[in-house]
Amino acid sequence: MQLAQDARERALTNPESFWAEQADQIVWHKKPTEILKENSDGTHQWYADGELNSCYLSLDRHIEEGKGDRLALIYDSPVTDTKKTYTYTELRDAVALFAGALKAQGVGKGDGVIIYMPMVPEAGIAMLACARLGAVHSVVFGGFAPHELAVRIDDSRSKVVLTASCGIEFTKVIEYKPLVDAAIEEATHKPEKVILLQRPQAQASMQEGRDLDWHEVQQGVEPAACVPLAATDPLYIMYTSGTTGKPKGVLRENGGHAVALNYALRNVYNMQDGDVWWGISDIGWVVGHSFIIYGPLMGGCTTVFYEGKPVRTPDAGAFWRVIQEYQVNGIFCAPTAFRAIRKEDPEGELFRQYDVSSLKHIFVAGEKLDSPTYHWLHELSNKPVFDHWWQTETGWPVTAPLTGLGETAIQVGSTNKSVPGYDVQVLRPDGSQAEADEMGSIAIKLPLPPGVAQTLWGDHERYLKSYLSTFPGYYHTGDGGYIDAEGFVYIMGRTDDVINVSGHRLSTGEMEEVVATHSAVAECAVIGVSDELKGQLPVGLILLKDGADISHEALEKELVALVREKIGALACFQRALVVKRLPKTRSGKILRAILRKIAEGEEYATPSTIDDVSILPEISDALTEAGITKKG
Ligand code: AMP
């Protein structure tokens, strides 16, 4: 494991030469001479004078190297009973043509494009077409409600919305067009055009003058060429939850991203040119960007693009079927999917119907990997199971084993050691470094390696405040945990009001804002409590307005519907409990951390700042009675 350790050391002692070497692994239109530059506010620029194109690196490059006939993308959709493959040449042709269509609609470098689409290959084609032109895509997960889409349309000020007539959840057809129409209606910024893919499962109605058909827009247009872009030009915006209602528009630059993904694909995931890789996620999340589309394609792999679920499409053997069918060499998935499979196939009867010998290993991330799930998966599959940790902001792994450099040791419960380029440290509240095994805030010493977001779209001040101000000289991850004496990192969870439901990052603050709009609600707190299947679930604690005339059951129902309508079903907001009082500090702040501990049935120290300590047993009784705090 000397190679891995050497790489870690080299990247930290001389980041410029380390990342100059890595930059040589990709193809540049203009090779950078400036590798790392520090800005006056503490942020950094990587490869500032380099020029490249992320779509060229994903597609054209391989064709020029004679690999045009290799499979680039395999679409497998159990929900529509469809399978389709694209070679690199076929995918490049589809992307170039769609880019030509976007160009004909006036989309060019720097223009914003919202992609609100299900897992159909056209969604990936759309992302790559934007990258080809230098347009900035912003993919919004199909599970988000119109309001969330409207917020993203307004913030990104996108020129065009790309969508499809429907998505499919198990067997349920969810029409997207009414959601898009409602979002545009709500948004203050009005996109000029909506380009819609009609799927056979639903026919969307079109608005004259604004809406265009996906296939018609491509008729008679010239395929577009790759536009050379500055390394620091934006590739995409990916919105993620912060601690307030307004999502953060994480901005990804072209240059550092390409170098980092290439590095991670080879060194972390050990995927070689020609391997088959399956990022089991959705293009609506960062994993979908880095490891369904850009990473595997830049690395010359075949990427599996799956429109289905771990279970019930048609059964809990679905993952193993796909691995066998396409001879998949590596997968990456959130633990929640394996918890769902385990629940339905605990003894692995379905697993044993398939041959998964092509698989080198299983990577998981996105939320805590609980040890029962780890042991079950490891014993069942007889494959190494690697937990690793990263965030939307970083865009690629922060801690992970370097399997490409032969590193395979793990510690159950740990997300492994820092990846070269990341100086991960645990800090105490005063900013001093914690000892080995001492819990604290996980922070990354600056400079951040290439690929990590250096700003938020249109709000650089918020970037500085959210990430760089808590511990000067460090990036604040928002996660708490510790590092052991050997350098293994243990992530214990968020230190802020962000929760993780089925691997989806959600803001409790945002849910509180929605709940508070109900006419009967005087005040509320939304907290995350552990859930066996989904990791965490949100629970609302509600103070009623005086004289509110509504039963608690009816209120809960209405609040559940409200959060579903405003944020989406993915929030899994199912419980809202009326309480008499909420614990507060003397200055009036709700003590959410205490509420979380009570709900989890954990020991807690009564904070000295509490206004009225008698509230705590009252809350505890209410949570136990409602079955939220588990007894015993
Ligand atoms: P996202 O930006 O949606 O990818 O969410 C990132 C957050 O998910 C991190 O800040 C962590 O809180 C959590 N997370 C990601 N990977 C892991 C992991 N392997 N173990 C524990 N938590 C994780």
Considering the domain boundaries, does residue 564 fall inside one?
A: yes
Considering the domain boundaries, does residue 170 fall inside one?
A: yes
Q: Where are the alpha helices (DSSP H) in 43-145?
A: 54-55, 61-64, 88-104, 121-133
Residue 459 CA to residue 324 CA, distance in Å, equals: 46
Pocket of ligand 1 (CB under 6 A): 240, 286, 365-368, 387-389, 391-392, 415, 477-479, 491, 494, 500, 505
367 CA to centre of ligand 1 in angstroms: 5
Residue 360 CA to residue 357 CA, distance in Å, equals: 8
How many of the other CB atoms lie within 10 Å of CB of 411? 14
Three-state secondary structure of 310-355: CCCCCCCCHHHHHHHHHCCCEEEECHHHHHHHHHHCCCCCCHHHCC
477 CA to centre of ligand 1 in angstroms: 10
Q: Which residue has the tokens 């020609």?
A: 274
| Residue from 368, 483, 492, 536 to probe ligand 1 pocket by mutation (most atoms less than 8 Å from CB) | 368
Q: Which atom of ligand 1 is nearest to the CA of 387?
A: 19
| Residue from 243, 332, 391, 497 to probe ligand 1 pocket by mutation (most atoms less than 8 Å from CB) | 391
pLDDT at 186: 97
> Whole-structure pTM over 0.75, yes or no?
yes
Q: Which atom of ligand 1 is nearest to the CA of 388?
A: 19
Q: How is residue 158 written in tokens?
A: 């996108």
- Torsion, Cα 185 189 195 201, to 10 degrees, reads -30
Structural element, H or E, at residue 600: helix 592-600
Comparing CA positions, the residue from 440, 420, 108, 64 lying closest to residue 266 is 420
Q: Which atom of ligand 1 is nearest to the CA of 491?
A: 21
Domain shared by 85 and 219, yes or no: yes
Considering the domain boundaries, does residue 596 fall inside one?
A: yes
* Ligand 1: residue whose CA is nearest its atom 4: 391
Q: What Å distances lie between residue 350 and 203, 314, 316, 338, 383, CA to CA?
A: 36, 11, 7, 13, 17
* Ligand 1: residue whose CA is nearest its atom 15: 366
Q: Which atom of ligand 1 is nearest to the CA of 286?
A: 4
454 CA to centre of ligand 1 in angstroms: 19
Domain shared by 124 and 212, yes or no: yes
Residue 200 CA to residue 23 CA, distance in Å, equals: 44
- Do 581 and 612 form a contact (C-beta atoms < 8 A)? yes
Q: What Å distances lie between residue 37 and 44, 149, 444, CA to CA?
A: 6, 35, 18
- Domain termination site, one of 430, 445, 460: 445
Considering the domain boundaries, does residue 451 fall inside one?
A: no
pLDDT at 87: 99
Domain shared by 11 and 138, yes or no: yes
Domain shared by 177 and 44, yes or no: yes
Domain shared by 154 and 294, yes or no: yes
Considering the domain boundaries, does residue 120 fall inside one?
A: yes
511 CA to centre of ligand 1 in angstroms: 19
457 CA to centre of ligand 1 in angstroms: 21
Domain shared by 437 and 554, yes or no: no
- Do 299 and 59 form a contact (C-beta atoms < 8 A)? no
CATH code for the domain in which residue 278 is found: 3.40.50.12780
391 CA to centre of ligand 1 in angstroms: 6
pLDDT at 593: 84
Domain shared by 395 and 522, yes or no: no
Considering the domain boundaries, does residue 85 fall inside one?
A: yes
Comparing CA positions, the residue from 109, 192, 122, 113 lying closest to residue 152 is 113
* Peptide bond preceding 447 in cis form (omega within 30 of 0): yes
Considering the domain boundaries, does residue 621 fall inside one?
A: yes
Mean pLDDT of successive 10-residue stretches along the chain, which has 632 residues: 93 98 98 98 98 99 98 98 98 99 98 98 99 98 94 97 97 97 98 98 98 98 98 97 84 98 98 98 97 98 98 98 98 94 95 98 93 95 98 98 97 97 97 95 98 98 98 96 97 88 88 92 92 94 92 96 94 95 82 89 82 90 90 54
- Do 112 and 138 form a contact (C-beta atoms < 8 A)? yes
Residue 355 sits in which domain range? 2-404+421-445
pLDDT at 631: 58
Beta-bridge mates of residue 139: 115
How many of the other CB atoms lie within 10 Å of CB of 374? 18
CATH code for the domain in which residue 529 is found: 3.30.300.30
Query: CB-based contacts of 145: which residues, under 8 Å, 6+ apart?
Result: 179, 564, 565, 566, 567, 568
Domain shared by 434 and 566, yes or no: no
CA terminus-to-terminus distance, the chain: 44
68 CA to centre of ligand 1 in angstroms: 36
496 CA to centre of ligand 1 in angstroms: 13
Q: Total domain count for the chain?
A: 2
User: What is the phi/psi pair of residue 113, to 5°?
Assistant: -135, 120
Q: Which atom of ligand 1 is nearest to the CA of 392?
A: 2
Considering the domain boundaries, does residue 167 fall inside one?
A: yes
Domain shared by 539 and 425, yes or no: no
